[in-house]
Each structure stands twice: as C-alpha cells, then as structure tokens.
Amino acid sequence: MGETVAANAFDASALFWNPALAAQAPRAQIGFSHAAYYADVAVSYAAAYRRFGSFTLGLSLQALNSGEMDVTTEFRPYGTGEQFRWIDMGIGLSVAQRLTDLFSYGVTARYVRESVAGLVTQTAVFDLGVFYRIGDTGAQMAVAMRNFGFDASPAGEQERIVIGGEGRVVEDEFESITPPTTFLFGITYEMLRDDPRNRLLLSGQLNNPNDNSENFNVGAEYTWSDLLVLRAGYRIGIEEYSIPSLGAGFLVPGLGDGLGLRLDYAFTNLERLGTVHRVGVNVEI
C-alpha cells in the first residue's frame, strides 16, 4: 500500500508502524514477514501481542542481513579476497492502551544493534503513537514518531591503509550516529462500508524523516468477501519509485471460531536498484 499503514495496520505489523494500533485489535496477533531486497539484502520481522483488559503488551524482533560482501580498498578495488556482513537487529517491547473505542495510544522501547566489519553500534530508541477513529464516518487518523532515541558511537577497531607513507592506521574513534527519527501522519477512509462482500479502503500518509526530505504516500486496499485482499500504493517524492507497488492477501477460511490466518505478498519495483519481494503470515487467535 505504498507504506500508508500508520493508521490501519491492525495486525502484528502495528508494533513496527504505530504501537497504538495494537490496542484496537480485538484478539491476539502473531505475525512473521520477510523482505528480499536488492543485492541479497534481506529483512525479517516477527511480532506478537495480546490484550489484557484495556492494555495490550507486545514483543517484536527485526533483523537485517546484507549477505556476504567483498572487502575493497583504494589499492584493490576489485576485492582483497576477504568478505564481511552488515547485520542489524532490533528487539522491542510495546505497551498500548485503548482508552475508548475511538482512541488509543502506544509506546515501544527498542534495543538496536548494528555490526559491520568488527564495529558494533548499540543504543535504545522509542516509538510513540496515537490513533483516533472519527466516529462512524469511516475515517480514522494516526500520528506516530519512530526511532526517537539516543545517539551512539561505534565501538571496535578498523585497520586501513593510508596513502602517503604512513602505512596501516588503526581507527578506534568514530563520530556519534543519530537514529533516523521519522514523524508519520496517516489518514484512511473506508468506502463501501455497507456492502458485506466488498470493502474499499483509501489511505494517505505524510512522512517527515530527520535525515531526508519530506514525502507523501497514497494507497488503496480492496477486500472481497473476507477472503481476498488486493492492494496498491505509490510513494510520492521518493527517487527510484516510478510505478505503484502491488500486493495481495488471502484469508484462509474454515479454521474455526477465534482463529484467523492471512497470507500476504507484495511487489515493489525500483528503477535502478531492482525489485523488492515481501511475504508475510499473520495469525489472529
């Protein structure tokens, strides 16, 4: 849906986009997803949450793996024969509260760790979010702030060759890194609400990252007979995105009361970087 989900991700992915949405889901959720990016980069995500009265508690895990990459230098631009990986990991604990049927808020505290070529950076970040359903109009809105936290500096040593006769130099002091904090404002409108077999959701989302320019996303989701879901979205103001992203979901029927299973797939094409494939499984208990 072009990542327009800050106001309508009422499944396990809520802990990633906006923890306030987790408080609106009627039952417990468990979700797994995997994104195959360009250049063998892959991101995996797992999350689960459950309601306890008006509160919802959740746990999430996200990991990025770059795959094996060749080490290159100014003197050996085609590779030194060595290889390395870039590995990121984030573990989050979420708490959300549903104050009314129309309003909820949520907070996620996350430990994040990056490691590459012997260097390790670790810190704590927070996600904050609120959700508001505008009565029975079919409209809803949300505000979220993601990755708000503490600066951190890499720890470890990195050896490199210096031109000019100094030979090899060991670097062990590095500048601090600021987390990529992003402000999200999303709004959705549900059309065809009175048709039990057909539902159409339109969504828009404004993104304001601290390390890039502001951008806007639009998306749509069509659901047929609570069985088939078709999605499309487009990111405005982002390089590489020239055509809409497409996706589909299938809700598995006949599993009995209290159990729901949805399988999802999404496809995004980037002009120079290539294609991105996403698959996901979400279980409602």
Statement: residue 159 has pLDDT above 90: no
Give the residues across from 283 on adjacent strands: 30, 261
Phi, psi (degrees; rounded to nearest 5) at 4: -95, 70
Residues 6+ apart with CB under 8 A from 193: 138, 199
User: Class of 14-284 per CATH?
Assistant: mainly beta
Statement: residue 193 has pLDDT above 90: no
**What average pLDDT does range 70-85 have in this prediction?**
85
Judge whether 249 and 264 are in contact, CB under 8 Å: yes
Compute the mean pLDDT over every residue in the chain, rounded to the nearest whole number: 92
pLDDT of residue 49: 97
Q: How far is the first Cα of the chain from the last one, in angstroms, to the nearest whole number?
A: 25
User: Which SS3 state, helix, strand or coil, does residue 162 take?
Assistant: strand
Judge whether 96 and 23 are in contact, CB under 8 Å: yes
**Is residue 16 classed exposed, middle or buried when 0-12, 13-18 and 19+ CB atoms within 10 A define those classes?**
buried
**Is residue 4 classed exposed, middle or buried when 0-12, 13-18 and 19+ CB atoms within 10 A define those classes?**
buried
Phi, psi (degrees; rounded to nearest 5) at 73: -135, 175
Domain boundaries along the sequence of the chain: 14-284
* pLDDT tens, position by position, 217-272: 999 999 999 899 999 999 998 888 889 999 999 999 877 777 899 999 999 999 98
Give residue 165's pLDDT band: very low, low, confident or very high (50, 70, 90): low
21-30, 76-85, 242-251: the lowest-pLDDT one: 76-85
Which residue from 194, 207, 206, 203 is spatially nearest to 221, judged by alpha carbons? 203
